[in-house]
Amino acid sequence: MTVPRIFVLSTVCIFILSGFVFADSSGRIYGRITTVDDDIFEGLIRWDKNEGNWIDMLDGNKEKSKKYSKRYKRKKYRRRETSIEIFGIKIGGRSSSSSDWSSVSQSGIRFGHIKTLNVVDDDRALLILKSGEEVELFDGSTDIGEGIREIVIEDRDEGELELLWEDIDRIDFMPAKKNLVSNYGNRLYGTLTTRRGDEYTGFVTWDIDEIFENDILDGDEKRRSRKIKFGKIAAIERYSSSGATVILKNGNEILLKGSNDVDDGNRGIIIADPGFGQVTVQWDEFDRLEFSEAPEQVTYDEFDGGKPLEGVVYTEDGDKYQGKIRWDDDEEYTWEILDGSYHDVEFDIEFGKIARIKKKSHRSSLVTLADGRQFRLRGSNDVDDDNGGIFITLDDGEEVEVDWDEFDYVNFDK
């Protein structure tokens, strides 16, 4: 019996549509935006072009709060002489102390920890976390304030809307359903290899800009301008400081030049690893990125909003102190970020993913993750002798301060 053509077409359409129905968008940022005019929009959110998933980081600055408590200072801070002496005459004469501290520090938090974001003014936001803690972040990046590049919401009824910072009153975040269709396509995922041979796998942000399959990689092929959707690309290889080889899924290879997408004007390739945070690789260290399908999404429900850092701090003299920890006189919650560099790759590691930090020298530390991976980091006061001190609040309320010179290692509670 001949099958009616209309039935065949209907079957094909159902099959195609089912691909959309079962697409997994549960890892995407989703929320309800209330504007200053009391309009309400709800849907998938793309933040500042380069954040679209719960594991992505909202960057900003925060003000340090000075702690006042009964404090035991284990050792006086050393003083560093910045002057030099020639023939008995001091030149400069300025000295500094590691107790010097700034009232402002860089900060960041994965979107999945945030329950509500309230716009305070043109460069400041009040975050209410899932834990109930309130954190105020301000400028320091294009993620917060009038300098933000765009906030796009794919509203279920209104379609795609682009909002300015000044339009927004508050955003209530909530889990995204699995079957939502996005105009941007799926989030990019893959494995990046550096020129030293190190590999990092996770969700991809290209040139601090492109994150979805329907985003465009552009450049010049000989004298022709090319615009290629990332969803058509199998891999990108660094060709030189001024070009890259793009390997398409159909097997074709294209040498592109003339764009910061494919030369040393590239602002960095970020790999967001659910197991610790993210790495940023600059063009000079980049070798190859091979795209693949994400094995699973990291959902909103997998984030807890953070809790106080706790553990045991050990000194070089063999003393140990157990209690709540304030690292670098700054970070004191598991959602906060430790930063440093390894083989010229920049790391941002969530404290809640760290099992141990051990000082290796004045300039570096060995960071061991909960999953066993280890990185020797340097280039940041989180991991070198510019550290502002490790503070431990004991059970009796006493606060002990361990200077970097005396610090050996810390084991964090899980």
Which tens digits make up the pLDDT trace of 105-142? 889 999 999 999 999 999 999 999 999 999 999 987 89
Among the ranges given (102-106, 169-173, 261-265), the one the predictor scored with the smallest mean pLDDT: 102-106
The predicted-structure confidence for 373-389, as pLDDT tens digits, reads as follows 999 999 999 999 999 99
Residue 267: the pLDDT is 96
Work out the average pLDDT over 178-200.
95
The number of CA neighbours under 13 Å toward the Cβ of 353 is: 24
Candidate from 174-183, 228-237, 292-301, 302-311 with smallest mean pLDDT: 174-183
Q: What is the dihedral of CA 283, 287, 290, 294, to 10 degrees?
A: -60
354: its two tokens: 């760290």
pLDDT level of residue 104 (50, 70, 90 thresholds): confident
pTM listed for this prediction: 0.87
Instruction: Report the candidate in 62, 60, 64 with the shortest Cα–Cα distance to residue 330.
Output: 64
Contact between 377 and 390 under an 8 Å Cβ cutoff? The reply is no
Residue, of 154 and 80, whose pLDDT is higher: 154
- Which residue is associated with the tokens 């010179």? 405
Q: How much is the pLDDT for 114?
A: 98
Query: If you average pLDDT over every residue of the chain, what do you get?
Result: 88
The pLDDT value recorded for residue 66 is: 55
Worst-scoring range by mean pLDDT, 66-75, 219-228, 264-273? 66-75
Model pLDDT, residue 12 = 37
Q: How does residue 73 score in pLDDT terms, banded at 50, 70 and 90?
A: low
**Which of 294, 301, 303, 273 is closest to 23 using CA atoms?**
294
Say if CB 202 and CB 189 are below 8 A apart: yes
C-alpha 296/C-alpha 152 separation (Å) is 24
